[in-house]
Structure 1
Amino acid sequence: MRYPSGHLPGLSKGIHLGIRVSSSHLILGHHLQDSNERQGQDSGPGQSTWSDTPQTCYAWSRCSPWSRCSRELQLSAELQAATLKGRRAWCGGVFRDLVVNTRQYLEHVRGSKAGSQGKVVKLFANHFRVTSCPQWIAYKYNIDYMPDIENGDVRESLLFQHEALFGKCHIFDGNSLLLPCALPKSKTELVSHFKDQLVKVTIEFSSELTPTSPDRLRYYNILFRKILKIMKLRQVGRNYYNKEKAEEIRQHKLEIWPGYVTSILQYENSMTLCADVNHKLLRMETAYDLIMRIREDAKKKGIDVKEQVSKELVGSIVFTKFNNKTYRVDAINWKETPKTIFKKSDGTKITFMEYYKKMIYLFSRLEVSDTVNSYVTVLKKHDSSNTQMVVCVLSSDRKEMYDGIKKYLCVNCPIPSQCVVARTLDKPQTLMTIATKIAQQMNCKMGGALWKVQTGLQNAMFIGIDCFHDIVNRRKSIAGFVASVNEDLTEWFSQCIIQESGQELVNGLRACLQEALKLWYERNSLLPYSIIVYRDGVGDGQLQALIDYEIPQIVSSLKSIFNSQNFKLTFIVVKKRINTRFFVESQGRLQNPLPGTVVDVELTRREWYDFFIVSQSVKDGTVTPTHYNVIHDTVRLSPDTVQCLTYRLCHMYYNLPGVIRVPAPCHYAHKLAYLVGQSIHEEPHHSLSNRLFYL
């Protein structure tokens, strides 16, 4: 259930510190239906059929709605969970992005960034206006402790021993204090008691914050999350959930906790609260249950228990009920036992058994029946230089079997391959449909094309970049780089960059650009006039780094490649993980907007050349729009052009006959990075770089 308008259940109209959440209002957006129908494929059931006239949509929505991905919503959670050092280093990635003004450098959209074509439609969104007293000033104070205290709860307790000094109306984030009134002194030193120790607490004035200050927005979010606590919602990871309303699905050993995702941010003309429902899906099976189940299976199948447990648990997220926290399993230490003694943070020593009050069992190694080796052995026997495609019919969807085959065929013996689980071919009523889809996928992997669209740009190369973290080596990340090498966007160059933690992505991008442009030149006998980059995988707080480092380095690399020739570059940041939802009213009910709906006013930021597109049609639930932010544009794409272009590219993903959420080069880059990070953990052989082998 969603709450697209009105008040959030359980939330009072007025809240402290001069802000108020009011009912929603209407905003503008717009709707695209493109004239560029796919060439080579008819529109089938469930696919959009484009009209002859391109349409941009101005949408009306309740209360300036658009929101960022969930990281921005985690403010108080991270502040409470982080150590003191982490708290001081972290200042909220989303708020660092808010002060980055990229539109000021784009002359062609300084006056207006809204499209002008198409039909105006009326939309609603899950945003609520937040108003603040326009002249009201808040006062920020830095809080220091001597000796240093890392625990956030202890820091709060020590400060609140002096609550009579600053009053009950305040917001504390673990490192700074926000007050509605100034304290008598700019610097106050106090003494608090912690156990048998005296701690000096220093409260020092930092700055005055206006109602629209990005730093003040951070405190608004902290305050609102405290309201969720008052509503008795439990914090799990980044969000808050209602355990009392949990539902069990016993036959699948699952439990579902309902909750909320919220954020308060400044948008085009006003500050709004974005609120969306969210559910935490929990397996009722514990890690111990899983280990016991694998142990029983090992007796029957003769598999290695340690290896199988590691494959099942490493990389997974576990939830501990005693503190409502989630942890990622990075490794399993088989050398230690429940009786192993470790040192706690206070210096005392204790066994794991005493600490957790439960037993953990480890098991001995069993004999291995390595079916992956048997597949590889057969492949080696039948491999030849004339082999164009390998099809493997697998007995099960076991990950280790798939990974082993893909690694061999992507690294050691580079041949495009197709893995099919045998049971998918056991249904006569769907066999022809499945066989057709498999044949289409194989065709693409061998260099074939299923359809094409006209982009409207001449001699333009399209690039997609996405990042994925390796599930085995957490210190490494994989960047997928995909570039079109012909005008029809039916041929692609693909390469991945495996980088260590902290290594700059652009060091590898230079080589990728050179190879992609070399291949383009071989196919077209000239270099592209313009290059359009869709950059996915950008975390909150990284916008300035893209502007200061990544884009200049790309420009520098292109200058060295093009020599004195002119080239144009557009760089677009793509965000999929956002919480804004749009609705259209039909016959008194709220429904999803039509594919091609664009929102480029009110919901956006005045400092950015940004817009939303709803590109998909979904049968169940609410459709999720995608946010696009043009941060560099020497091609000088008009709003209508970049919006239509982006929507057309969402139709060019060959693995799906419908429309996807992001432009095809973006999703191709994701698929490449995902395959490398999930399965092969090495850079694929260079001979596969001109094939979509990762579909």
Structure 2
Amino acid sequence: GVPITLKANYFKLETDQNWYQYDVCFSPEVESAVEREGLLDNVKESIGVYVLDGTTMFSINDLGQNEMKLFSTWESDEIQTQISLQFVKKLVVGEACYIQFFNKLMRQEMRYLQLQLVGQNFCDESDKIVVSNHPVEVWPGYLTSVHQLKAGMLMNCLISTKVVRLDTVLDMLTKLKKDHSQRYEELFKQQIEGAVVLTKYDNQTYYVDYVNFDLTPTSTFEYLGGEQISYKDYYQSAYQKTISDDRQPLLVAHAGKGECVCLVPELCRMTGFDPETRANVAVMRELEERALLAPQDMIDRLNAFNKRLLEHQSVRRDLQAWNVRLDDKLIEFQGRVLPWDKILHGPHLGQVAEQSGWMTELGRKPMLVTPTLSTWTVIVPVTYKKDAQDFVTKLIDAAWRMRFDIRQPYFKYVSHQVPSFEEALEEVNLCLKPQMIMCIVPERGINHYTAIKKKCCLDRAVPTQVIVANNLTRKGVQSIATSVAIQMCCKIGGVPWTVEIPISGLMVVGFDVYHDTTPRGGNSYGAFVASLNKTFSQYFSAVSAHTPGQELSNDMASYLGDALCEYKKCNGALPEQIVIYRDGVFRHQIPEVKNREIVALKKCWKDTYGEQECRMAFIVVTKRIRTRLFHNNENPPPGTVADDCITTPEICDFFLVPRSVCQGTVRPTGYGVLFNKTGLDIVMLQKITYKMAHLYFNQRVSIA
């Protein structure tokens, strides 16, 4: 690839100081973190500067290996508390506790900036943006984390925004009571169970499990020392919050470590968007503009935040006391831009050679393989009859430009109701046996979509294309018609385009796990796909149920065995190499992935290939990352790879920018190569990864 100079949203931290870890015990026990720190502050002359994280204390001073006992008194109760400090170890650079200390230290420094901790985000409420004529605020903020990377100890910093609704959960309940007096409890449970709420008194976020209508603010619970106290009195005493509605039910939420907490709707704000806000195009556009930062704006905000830290007197004092130096500029390093690969299309393998505009050009070029769609049906509510007919005309024209022959369909008109769609699907399948069914559904037709897919995937297998009615007349409908034509071509066996991968006998595998996090759901499912041909357009697929919340798979290896059998049927031979992309794995799960999934996959290879040397790679994919890359204060071009400085020393990993974006700062995708016996070097694996990003036929763009 071509060398490129990059910056990333990391600031370097340096120190040559020794630090020590101690276990801290308070007697009598002290639950409040503020009170624990206050007690330690009283004996600071004896222990020196410290950072407290739960029951772990980090200090710059070696206090000896014998247990140290000190006594301190909290200002409000005058009760003497014994503090016991037990030496644990001297910290080693790069170990987990060393990084834990750095993270705690930097989060402690954030407090001096008068930022509000909202969930995991530090937000600047003083700089909040009020959205015009709508009960929503945007709080700008920062996400920080410290990591030991190849360039040393680096602090990652991401500019974030938190959308905060001003209405409370009680406001929602009151409105439901007014509008649906007979069934408001049922509707309230539907809307709030599984939602995330933000408490007004300490800005913590909670995931609501269920509503308990038997509990109210006047209900009591056992407080410290066994005393019974009402929720109303507790919130008044602890947070000076007066509750006005004594009849509201309580929300039950997880509070960590298997514990539950009861929340008062009046003291909880809703998060996310309600249907009314989502439907308001002007408001959503304004929120999007606030949230999406251009690269230059992101860099300016990062540098301003860094300057704000370094210029604060208390931060400078603390960092000097700990002998820590925070760099004042973003880290800069060398990356590479992978060469642009031609997109192959049409029966004679025509090439789209230009990287810019290849998506548009493909809409005017013949597709690689195009079957004929001769018998198909459009099921549409009669109110959309004219719009549907006009759209089908545009669809047929768009398909013809790509040499995809779509004949005129049979139109079946129905009402808006889900049962009407189900009856029509049954009738059409029985009488016409179409190659494909297109269903045009009303806006927000999630129930329609579910019913259609169930009917046509489980009851009677037939490809379907579902379109929301408002897309029939949207601006840019011709582009929509082109995209729909490509999807329909794929669903009946066509191949729109491919890329050239000069490795014979390559199978590419993908695996991910979906978790239904709603209280009513709770199920987890693993999905497995494996390519079966050299154009990577035909796939073997399998799905399995997991234990709820379980990310690791017991079935991946058996599915690979089935996929290898299918590959041999299609090609007359087994694949020579296998590259597996595994999504959804967190860093702390990597050892278990190696010990379980990779070991099982290697056994599958041996069972299938015998003594033939294993030629397989296993790559973990991470999309939800906080790393951002910049080149000349702009987004780096597609194909940019970063595999030094900001990558981890333990594994072979890299970041790839797979696409360009029209707005905001592009987010790279992270890849960690946990196992590689293919004989392919890291650069070739990077190239294969970039090529695969161009083979998602639902969109004429490269994807993450």
Shared fold (TM-score, shorter chain, > 0.5): yes
Kindly provide the amino acid, as one letter, of the partner of residue 317 in structure 1. Answer: V
How far off its partner does 1:383 sit? 3.1
Question: Aligned to 1:506, what secondary structure does the other structure show?
Answer: coil
Q: State whether structure 2 residue 695 is matched by structure 1 residue 652.
A: yes
Kindly provide the amino acid, as one letter, of the partner of residue 214 in structure 2. Answer: E
The match for 1:313 is 192
Match of 2:553 among 486, 506, 510: 506
How far off its partner does 1:144 sit? 3.0
Encode CA deviations 1:308-329: one digit per residue, 9 max, x unaligned.
4444333221111211011112
Distance in 2 (alpha carbons) for counterparts of 1:212 and 1:457: 39
Distance in 2 (alpha carbons) for counterparts of 1:574 and 1:224: 28
Match of 1:282 among 143, 149, 164: 164
Kindly provide the amino acid, as one letter, of the partner of residue 8 in structure 2. Answer: A
How far off its partner does 1:259 sit? 0.9
Q: State whether structure 2 residue 672 is matched by structure 1 residue 625.
A: no
Encode CA deviations 1:641-664: one digit per residue, 9 max, x unaligned.
111111111101111101111xxx
Q: State whether structure 2 residue 654 is matched by structure 1 residue 611.
A: yes
What percentage of aligned pairs have identical amino acids? 31
The match for 2:208 is 329
Contact 1:258 1:279 in 2 (8 A): yes
Kindly provide the amino acid, as one letter, of the partner of residue 357 in structure 1. Answer: I
The match for 1:423 is 470
Contact 1:463 1:534 in 2 (8 A): yes
Contact 1:132 1:211 in 2 (8 A): no
Contact 2:498 2:535 in 1 (8 A): yes
Question: Aligned to 1:418, what secondary structure does the other structure show?
Answer: strand
Question: Aligned to 1:257, what secondary structure does the other structure show?
Answer: strand
1:464-503 mapped onto 2 (5 Å cutoff): 464-473=510-519, 475-501=522-548, 503=550
Question: Aligned to 1:438, what secondary structure does the other structure show?
Answer: helix
The match for 2:221 is 343
Kindly provide the amino acid, as one letter, of the partner of residue 649 in structure 1. Answer: M
How far off its partner does 1:215 sit? 1.9
Q: Where does the alignment leave 5 or more consecutive residues of structure 2 unmatched?
A: 236-241, 250-414
Encode CA deviations 1:344-383: one digit per residue, 9 max, x unaligned.
4434445566657143668xxxxxx994344334333433
Match of 1:641 among 673, 684, 702: 684
How far off its partner does 1:137 sit? 1.3
How far off its partner does 1:493 sit? 2.1
The match for 1:139 is 20
Contact 1:462 1:483 in 2 (8 A): yes
RMSD: 2.9
Q: 1:251 to 1:380 in 2, by over 3 A?
A: farther
Contact 1:139 1:208 in 2 (8 A): yes
Match of 1:435 among 476, 481, 484: 481
The match for 1:170 is 50
Question: Aligned to 1:165, what secondary structure does the other structure show?
Answer: helix
Question: Aligned to 1:591, what secondary structure does the other structure show?
Answer: coil
Q: 1:371 to 1:265 in 2, by over 3 A?
A: same
Distance in 1 (alpha carbons) for counterparts of 2:581 and 2:551: 18
Question: Aligned to 1:275, what secondary structure does the other structure show?
Answer: strand
Question: Aligned to 1:123, what secondary structure does the other structure show?
Answer: strand
Question: Aligned to 1:541, what secondary structure does the other structure show?
Answer: helix
Match of 1:188 among 43, 48, 68: 68
Kindly provide the amino acid, as one letter, of the partner of residue 603 in structure 1. Answer: I
Contact 1:583 1:591 in 2 (8 A): yes
Contact 2:580 2:619 in 1 (8 A): yes
1:280-429 mapped onto 2 (5 Å cutoff): 280-294=162-176, 298=180, 305-333=184-212, 335-336=213-214, 338=216, 341-346=219-224, 347-349=226-228, 357-359=243-245, 371-384=417-430, 386-427=433-474
Q: Where does the alignment leave 5 or more consecutive residues of structure 1 unmatched?
A: 1-55, 57-118, 363-368, 662-695
Kindly provide the amino acid, as one letter, of the partner of residue 183 in structure 1. Answer: L
Q: State whether structure 2 residue 300 is matched by structure 1 residue 254.
A: no
Question: Aligned to 1:171, what secondary structure does the other structure show?
Answer: strand
Question: Aligned to 1:555, what secondary structure does the other structure show?
Answer: helix
Q: 1:572 to 1:434 in 2, by over 3 A?
A: same
Taking CA–CA contacts closer than 8 Å with sequence separation of 6 or more, which of the two structures ends up with the larger relative contact order? 1
Distance in 1 (alpha carbons) for counterparts of 2:135 and 2:466: 30
Encode CA deviations 1:267-290: one digit per residue, 9 max, x unaligned.
213222222211111223333333
How far off its partner does 1:485 sit? 1.6
Distance in 1 (alpha carbons) for counterparts of 2:493 and 2:163: 40
Distance in 1 (alpha carbons) for counterparts of 2:697 and 2:183: 39
Encode CA deviations 1:150-194: one digit per residue, 9 max, x unaligned.
554454445445333202x11111121111111155212345567
Contact 1:529 1:566 in 2 (8 A): no
How far off its partner does 1:594 sit? 0.8
The match for 2:6 is 123
Contact 2:483 2:700 in 1 (8 A): no
The match for 1:97 is none
Kindly provide the amino acid, as one letter, of the partner of residue 131 in structure 1. Answer: E
TM-score between the two structures when normalised by the length of structure 2: 0.69
The match for 1:218 is 100
Encode CA deviations 1:447-502: one digit per residue, 9 max, x unaligned.
32211112222111111112221133564322222211222100122222221147
Contact 1:475 1:500 in 2 (8 A): no
Q: 1:441 to 1:287 in 2, by over 3 A?
A: farther
Q: 1:153 to 1:559 in 2, by over 3 A?
A: farther
Distance in 2 (alpha carbons) for counterparts of 1:123 and 1:503: 37
Distance in 2 (alpha carbons) for counterparts of 1:271 and 1:337: 49
Q: For the pair shown, which has the larger CA radius of gyration, 1 or 2?
A: 2
How far off its partner does 1:339 sit? 6.0
Distance in 2 (alpha carbons) for counterparts of 1:409 and 1:310: 31
Kindly provide the amino acid, as one letter, of the partner of residue 219 in structure 1. Answer: F
Aligned residues: 526
Is the strand fraction higher in 1 or 2? 2
Q: 1:322 to 1:370 in 2, by over 3 A?
A: farther
TM-score between the two structures when normalised by the length of structure 1: 0.70
Distance in 2 (alpha carbons) for counterparts of 1:387 and 1:566: 47
Distance in 2 (alpha carbons) for counterparts of 1:492 and 1:251: 50
How far off its partner does 1:565 sit? 4.5
